[in-house]
Structure 1
Amino acid sequence: MITEKPKPNPPLELRLRVLSAIDYAPGDSIRERIKAVSQRAFVDHTTGHEYHFTWRTIETWRCRFKKHGLTTLDNQSRRDKNTYRKVKINELAEAITEVLPSLRFNKTGVIPKSALYRKLLQQNYFSRYQLSPTTFYRLLRENDLLNSEQTQKLRQSFAMRYANELWQADTMHGPSIKQPDGKWRKTFLIAFIDDASRVITHAEFFYADNTENMIDAFKSALFKRGKPQRLYFDNGSNYTSKEMLQACLRLDIHLSHAPVRDGAAKGKIERFFRGFRDRFLTQHLQFDSLDELNDKTHHWLENDYNNHYHSGIQMTPLDRFNLDRERLQFLTDDEATAELFFVEETRKVSKTNVFSINNQRYECPVDLREKSIQVRFDRSRRDQFIVYYNDQRIGPASLLDLHFNARQRSAYPGDNA
């Protein structure tokens, strides 16, 4: 069966003829005249091809011509031509460097590209949707990714230069633990990794994947390893919560989020999770409690991961992290630091210097009548409310006690009349 070759895109001259035909087409409105033109056939005198255009196509050309002029009608190449939207070159270089040592040379002394591609997919560095075989081979050829010197340059551009320049974080589903009542509860591992050194700044299992546990894990990471300049999270509700955003603003930490459904953007934390499953969870099949799970996890992290040689940085993560120790900024564990992680809400103070929150009424520590204040509190406890005004800490609010205030007022001179 002979198939007809597809027609080339209509040239600019033909498109202009279509637009000029609108002025002479029958119809009382522009829409009717465009539809009349869509019923006609137009022939390209250069190639002899005959074209028919829908009225929507003609209307699009007309709008672009009126708004932007002649140049928008000409054929244009894709804006993202010669770029790769789903896979970054430096991420692929990083993955190839980690996978190559596990592959063997063939009889001719080279590693087959097909074997390298299959290995990348098997170890979940990329999915076939992100990286097709054709794209993979083209990336290898155009960027010389099997050249160790070139790959090293690309990998260095992918990693941060100093420790605590950037942390990545994510949540992994962990093993279920049997409770005293016989029921099983799922666990979730919240982990932070430093981009430059690959140090796991903190990782901890919880029974719930919520904002409260996320903040607790984040605080532990800050106290252990210092303050990062940037955080790179996914778009989960815990990582986009009001508490996390407010804490980053107060700590002067830049918070950014990975594109939706783009796991490769968080490649380092994803690869840690894969290694954690293969090297730790497969060796410990059952845990009696959450405390036992966390104790063994912390022991493995500090002894078998952070102090273990990492091929990507040519040293142990902890040694690489300590090279930049003089640059690190640590937090002090005090009351002021704790309040950095409190959730903040705005309240209007009444004429009697009282505001309402958590279905209760509180008195301001100083006279702030009829002013808007910021109230910070620990969402998990809600037992103390700290008043801020114009970003200045005023002090803790006190629960309104009408009887105490009445007794105080009766004690003033002249109130016994």
Structure 2
Amino acid sequence: MSASPHPLHELDPAPAPSVLALVPAPAPVPAVPVVPANRAPRANTPLMRKEHRDNIALFRYQVIRGAADPSLSTRQRGPLVRALALVDHPWPYGGTRRFSRESLDRWIKAWHRDGFDGLKPDERATAPGTDPSILLLAESLKREKPNRTTAQVKRIITETLGQAPSETTLLRHFRAKNISTGARPVATGRFETVASNEIWVGDALHGPRIGGRKTYLFAFLDDHSRMVTTARWAWAEDAIRLSAVLRPALETHGIPEVLYLDNGAAMSDKSLARTCAKLGIKLVHSAPYRPQGRGKIERFFNTVTSQFLGEITVTDTPMLPGTAPEAGSQIGSLEELNTLFTAWVNMVYHHQQHSSTGQTPLTRWEASWEHRTPVRKPLETIRQAFLWSDTRKVSKTGTVSLHSNSYEVDPLLAGTSIELVYDPFDLDGEITVNNNQGIPAGTAKPVDIGRHVHTKVINAVKDNDTATNINTGINYLDLVATRHRQSLSGAPISFADLHDHTTPKNQTQPAVSEEEQP
């Protein structure tokens, strides 16, 4: 079957030999300077855009100049266009390109109709498609806190106005205004578990000072879903605060197979090792100076820094007269910090689509449990797992010393080493005794009690964070907290409640723990 005639020329299977002779060899035309593909110039200014269009028009003319000769008939032009469509042409900005017969015919028509200007590509419309007031707001948000990412600026505008321009539009506007858009690199990891609760990655982030005191964020992230199984700010990076954060997560979300932590003092404490052993959790520490596998928690901390910490202002000192307040939610207490952070995690982070998974953390977490259930332990078993233990040698009189207190044990244990299992918040309570074979050997009876709580617990119990009077204006995190306030459920858990043997209320919201006191 023969092909149908082309709009500009009839297909001639046997063109006259004199056709090519009709096209004289063109004089050499200066080539457009070739720029490597990875260094193609950006047409950011009107002058650069004009130069770019001129270069493209010149390139197109060099391609079609032979076939565009006005003296050629349609029958004579056909073979020339077909030949041009079969070869690669050097692209002025690096590499080669091949063009269809339709494109070449369109260029020839444009050349005959409008000359050189007809070969120039269409210029983009310069009229702004976005409300200038919205762009001005975006510019102000970026300038007042330069560490805000373009995505974060879009979130704030959406939270405030209900809709926002695309990130591409905002990024183009920032570049046009010479506003830095550089983003800090984030650590990423290639490994990923196939289901939730296989691995929880945990770490601590050093935060801002409140009232002159340093804050620390303990966080655990499910490796598969990227959901925050628990997270909370505290006054110190120690084992007791870590326990207060981890225990509610195990009660709410189930028991993970592995905890993957760094080698910090709190993460390496023997009390945590005992907890994991009692609950059947494999405790793994990353090798020193080798953070491989910790990319997900590091990326989460980068998100916390850019999207949350970048939106708060710590009111450590009174403002000077005539000084304008800083942008962001004003924080004067640890309680306020945790309230806003919990709202941000539940209402923002858990509902953001993750670039690696293509799903939100909450959606991915819930999908993982469609045909399986999390491993759960009785609440009393979990409570027992968070008790502490120490090894002591029994005196000849059948007594043992523990943290400046004296206890009496079975006289048959005199002269042997025993394990004492106790609640660090209640040293005058029941203390279980195991002999040197690990077999239960009764309880230790208080004889002389001089200290009622463990020394590591004293400061935690005293962390009754007192909020200061802060007049907070309307801002991003406050808007998020307002949406979150009605979704809170479950009973808060405090440090002091860790020794309570009663059953805490189940929390229905799969998010961070809600203890009132750090």
2:282 to 240, 249, 254: 254
Corresponding position of 1:327: 373
- Equivalent residues in 2 for 1:256-271, closer than 5 Å: 256-271=284-299
Corresponding position of 2:400: 355
Q: Which has the larger radius of gyration?
A: 2
- Equivalent residues in 2 for 1:85-100, closer than 5 Å: none
Distance 2:428 2:366 in 1: 39
Residues 259 and 265 in structure 1, CA contact (< 8 A), matched pair in contact too: no
- Name the SS for the 1:399 alignment partner: strand
Q: 1:337 to 1:394 in 2, by over 3 A?
A: farther
- Name the SS for the 2:348 alignment partner: helix
Q: Does 1:169 align with 2:225?
A: no
Give the alignment's TM-score, normalised by structure 1.
0.55
Deviation at 1:380, TM superposition (A): 5.0
Residues 389 and 419 in structure 2, CA contact (< 8 A), matched pair in contact too: yes
1:374 to 378, 398, 419: 419
- Name the SS for the 2:418 alignment partner: strand
* Residue segments in structure 1 that go unaligned for 5+ positions in a row: 1-100, 105-117, 127-153, 179-183, 402-417
Q: 1:174 to 1:362 in 2, by over 3 A?
A: same
Distance 1:364 1:238 in 2: 31
Deviation at 1:264, TM superposition (A): 4.5
The more displaced of 358-367 and 294-303 is 358-367
Structure 1 residue runs of 4+, over 6 Å off? 101-104
Deviation at 1:159, TM superposition (A): 0.3
Task: Please give the per-residue CA displacement for 1:164-220, whole angstroms capped at 9, x wherever unaligned.
Answer: 111111111112212xxxxx2111001000101111110000011112111221212
2:343 to 294, 299, 302: 299
Deviation at 1:266, TM superposition (A): 0.8
- Name the SS for the 2:298 alignment partner: helix
Distance 1:281 1:332 in 2: 37
Q: What RMSD, in angstroms, separates the aligned Cα atoms of the two structures?
A: 3.0
Deviation at 1:273, TM superposition (A): 0.5
One-letter code aligned to 1:397 = A
- Name the SS for the 2:264 alignment partner: coil
Corresponding position of 1:309: 353
Task: Please give the per-residue CA displacement for 1:52-83, whole angstroms capped at 9, x wherever unaligned.
Answer: xxxxxxxxxxxxxxxxxxxxxxxxxxxxxxxx
Distance 2:273 2:236 in 1: 20
Q: Does 1:277 align with 2:300?
A: no
Q: Does 1:386 align with 2:432?
A: yes
2:444 to 397, 401, 409: 397
One-letter code aligned to 1:331 = K
- Equivalent residues in 2 for 1:105-124, closer than 5 Å: 122-124=184-186
Distance 1:186 1:166 in 2: 29
The more displaced of 218-227 and 351-360 is 351-360
One-letter code aligned to 1:320 = R
Distance 1:313 1:206 in 2: 30
- Name the SS for the 1:198 alignment partner: coil
* Residue segments in structure 2 that go unaligned for 5+ positions in a row: 1-165, 170-180, 314-329, 449-518
Deviation at 1:307, TM superposition (A): 3.0
Corresponding position of 1:364: 409
Q: Which has the higher contact order (CA 8 A, sep 6+)?
A: 2
One-letter code aligned to 1:211 = A
Matched positions, count: 253
Q: 1:338 to 1:395 in 2, by over 3 A?
A: farther
Q: 1:122 to 1:351 in 2, by over 3 A?
A: closer
- Name the SS for the 1:322 alignment partner: helix
Deviation at 1:379, TM superposition (A): 3.5
One-letter code aligned to 1:319 = T
Task: Please give the per-residue CA displacement for 1:264-307, whole angstroms capped at 9, x wherever unaligned.
Answer: 43100000010111111222223121111111111111221123
The more displaced of 185-194 and 341-350 is 341-350
Give the alignment's TM-score, normalised by structure 2.
0.45
Which has the larger share of helix? 1
One-letter code aligned to 1:233 = L
- Equivalent residues in 2 for 1:93-242, closer than 5 Å: 122-125=184-187, 155=190, 158-178=191-211, 184-242=212-270
